[in-house]
Amino acid sequence: MCGIIGYVGKSDRALNIVIDGLKALEYRGYDSAGIAFIKNNKTQIIKEKGKIKNLENKINFNLKTNLGIGHTRWATHGEPNLKNSHPHKVGKITLVHNGIIENYEELKEILKNYNYKFISDTDTEVACALIDKLYQEKNDLVKVLSKVSNLIKGSYAFGIICDDELDTIYATRKDSPLIVAIDDQDYYIASDIPAILKYTNKYMLLDDYDIVKMSHNNITIYNNKLEIEKKKNYTFSGNIEAAEKNGYEHFMLKEINEQSTVIKETMFPYLDDGINGLIDKMPDFSKYNEFDIVSCGSAYHTGLVAKTLIENYTNIPVNVEIASEYRYKKLFFNKKKLIILVSQSGETADTLASLRIAKEHNMDTLAIVNVVGSSIAREANEVLYIKAGCEIAVATTKAYLAQIAMFALIALKIGISRQTIDENELNEITQDIRRLPLLIDEILKNDYKNLAKKIFKQNDIFFIGRGIDYAVAMEGSLKLKEISYIHSEAYAAGELKHGTISLIKDKTPVIAIVTDMNIAPKTISNIREVKARGANVILLTTIKLDDNYDFINYKIVVPSIHPIIQSILTVIPLQLLAYEVAKLRNCDIDKPRNLAKSVTVE
Ligand code: F6R
């Protein structure tokens, strides 16, 4: 989604700072970019369609200026063209915006009565006009921005320059992320940490309705028109390399290769002090007899894996829900149910809204989140942080893996408490968890280029599996389609013949996942069904294959490990295969078209 950066301070290289920030926010997804800065005591705006490089070509970097705001736009209202790009300027107000103003049409009609004319199709231009109108009345932007929050419905993070105060940036937020950073007398606002990392790793999180006023040597943060004395300071513990490619061709490949470390950092601290350590470090789940897991996209797929783990190892029933559905459906709450929100970014609008609904009903909530201090992490009653580190590629890999790891630990903790996992099994599992990083690195050594070459020209690729393998198939299919643009679907293996099998024709790739030995013979029968219709079968399995498997065209074998953590290994070849296929198709792997890393709008 849109990215915002703003700088005011000692340096006269604000243009470079803002462009550096925008480049670091590219991963969020965008289709145009723009900046506003001060030149000859006037606000100057430059914007361009497409990549930041196009924008850079229009900027004279010799110009010295101490203040600038920048924006990458991910189109919501109106096409991705020049007139809809940010910054927008109406009257004295120049604005960049991330979020969606839901009542913009209504506000637009009101503002037209005051002779405001609109040249873009955006909700942002309407917000800009509204701020200008109120500024004409009140002449004080702090008061204006606190009033705006009562008039606007929807979500926003704003960065603002006012023609009457050309040495000052104003900013505020509601339901869209925004951080503030202070380094000596340099002040920044940004949608996310990577945007400022080249310059500082110290930052503060803004709360909803906070208003920031920052000028050359001063910063004040207000809430409810009152100055806030103190805000908690955070230090980003990773270094800038965490947000760089480290020699890998793409962030996605780098992040796939970080997965053994991610598993160590996410899981090992819970095992260091034996069973008691695990029990003490995890929340107490003893009062719950049902879970709702609520999330979107890959995090929803994590929930599907988690359902099998928790149900199989603890006997607690789990409902897995897509957040954008959950927030509008009839919900059945009771005090013995825990609502678990899963989100890498911690800012996904639908997941955040679901969390708030659960809290309105006084339900207990637990967040499983990667980004420290994100909205979901802050608002949930309890948070368990996965330790995936900074994930830049739009398509998630290491965060998905770490989420599964966290659910395996949760299942383990509850299983021990409920005595559904005995001591022998627990020992076996902990030994296997300790082996995981090594096994992950072994899998990462395999080359999937040859297999990718066999399938990258296909129009349709199917994934099948049963039980937990079906959940992993869904993630494999999403990974492939989102970065390679090949149509793909995942099916419960037994369901294929109820319709979709009619799409299987000669050479259609079907990637079948078989790691659950209890139902392996059933999936094998389904594989034979698609084979009989001409499918090109790729089997991803833990089974050592013998001659009886001559109906398989290509096989990928992953090590067999305790089922509670098997999916952690199974998904990795699918991530790598998707990567190699997308590469052969010359796709923009880290920033697939139309996608955004942090989906902060509904
Ligand atoms: C797919 C992907 C998305 C996210 C989804 C939720 O590769 O990354 O499907 O999983 O947008 O995002 P978070 O986890 O940030 O809530």
pLDDT tens-place string over residues 198-211: 999 899 989 889 99
Which residue has 């084979």 as its token pair? 531
The low-confidence residues of the chain, meaning pLDDT below 70, are 229, 238-243, 545-547
Give the span between the Cα atoms of 328 and 171, in whole angstroms: 31
Asked if the domains 3-242 and 446-602 are classified in one and the same CATH topology, the answer is: no
CA of 598 to the centre of ligand 1 (A): 7
Atom of ligand 1 lying closest to residue 348 CA = 16
> Is residue 255 helix, strand or coil?
helix
Q: Which of 538, 480, 539, 482 is nearest to 514 (CA)?
A: 539
Amino acid at 494: G
Q: Ligand 1, from 396, 477, 590, 595: best to mutate by most atoms within 8 Å of Cβ?
A: 396
Q: Which of 23, 51, 133, 597 is catalytic?
A: 597
CB atoms within 10 A of CB 62: 6
CA of 135 to the centre of ligand 1 (A): 38
Residue 2 annotated as catalytic: yes
* Residues 6+ away with beta carbon under 8 Å from 190: 3, 4, 5, 6, 21, 25, 178, 179, 181, 196, 203
Alpha-carbon separation of residue 506 from 376, 463, 486, 524 (angstroms): 47, 16, 17, 19
Ligand 1 pocket residue status of 351, Cβ below 6 Å = yes
Q: According to the model, what pLDDT value does residue 471 have?
A: 98
Superfamily of domain 446-602 in CATH is Glucose-6-phosphate isomerase like protein; domain 1 (3.40.50.10490)
Topology (CATH) of 3-242: Glutamine Phosphoribosylpyrophosphate, subunit 1, domain 1 (3.60.20)
Encoded tokens for 382: 């309890």
Ligand 1 pocket residue status of 302, Cβ below 6 Å = no
Q: According to the model, what pLDDT value does residue 443 have?
A: 96
Residue 574 · residue 72 · CB < 8 Å: no
Phi, then psi, of 577 in degrees rounded to 5: -65, -45
Q: Which of 54, 372, 14 is nearest to 167 (CA)?
A: 14
Give the span between the Cα atoms of 513 and 455, in whole angstroms: 17
Atom of ligand 1 lying closest to residue 344 CA = 14
Nearest residue by C-alpha to atom 9 in ligand 1: 297
Which residue has 């637009």 as its token pair? 108
Q: According to the model, what pLDDT value does residue 428 have?
A: 95
Q: According to the model, what pLDDT value does residue 545 have?
A: 67
Give the global pTM: 0.82
CB atoms within 10 A of CB 92: 16
Ligand 1 pocket residue status of 124, Cβ below 6 Å = no
Ligand 1 pocket residue status of 388, Cβ below 6 Å = no
CATH number for domain 245-445, candidates 3.40.1280.10, 1.10.3720.10, 3.40.50.10490, 3.40.50.970:
3.40.50.10490
Give the span between the Cα atoms of 27 and 192, in whole angstroms: 11
Which residue has 């202070």 as its token pair? 182
Locate the domains of the chain by residue range.
3-242, 245-445, 446-602
Give the span between the Cα atoms of 182 and 451, in whole angstroms: 49
Which residue has 């470090």 as its token pair? 281
Task: Report, in angstroms and rounded to the nearest whole number, the Rg of the chain calculated over CA atoms.
Answer: 25
Give the span between the Cα atoms of 10 and 196, in whole angstroms: 15
Ligand 1 pocket residue status of 482, Cβ below 6 Å = yes
Give the span between the Cα atoms of 471 and 306, in whole angstroms: 9
Does 521 sit behind a cis peptide bond, omega within 30 degrees of 0 on the bond before it?
Answer: no
Residue 29 · residue 597 · CB < 8 Å: yes
Q: In what order do the strands lie in the sheet with 67-73?
A: 42-49, 32-39, 67-73, 3-8, 186-190, 179-183, 202-205, 233-235
Ligand 1 pocket residue status of 348, Cβ below 6 Å = yes
Atom of ligand 1 lying closest to residue 299 CA = 10
Ligand 1 pocket residue status of 370, Cβ below 6 Å = no
Q: According to the model, what pLDDT value does residue 240 have?
A: 63
Which residue has 């991330």 as its token pair? 98
Give the span between the Cα atoms of 439 and 421, in whole angstroms: 24
Alpha-carbon separation of residue 156 from 190, 271, 367, 538 (angstroms): 13, 41, 23, 46
Tell the burial category of 557 from Cβ atoms under 10 Å away from its Cβ (0-12, 13-18, 19+).
middle
Give the span between the Cα atoms of 386 and 369, in whole angstroms: 6
Q: According to the model, what pLDDT value does residue 194 have?
A: 86
Atom of ligand 1 lying closest to residue 345 CA = 15
Give the span between the Cα atoms of 376 and 354, in whole angstroms: 10
Q: According to the model, what pLDDT value does residue 239 have?
A: 63
Q: According to the model, what pLDDT value does residue 546 have?
A: 67
Residue 94 · residue 36 · CB < 8 Å: yes
Ligand 1 pocket residue status of 589, Cβ below 6 Å = no
Amino acid at 432: D
Q: Ligand 1, from 176, 191, 255, 344: best to mutate by most atoms within 8 Å of Cβ?
A: 344
Nearest residue by C-alpha to atom 5 in ligand 1: 297
Ligand 1 pocket residue status of 299, Cβ below 6 Å = yes
In total, the chain counts a number of residues equal to: 602
Residue 128 annotated as catalytic: no
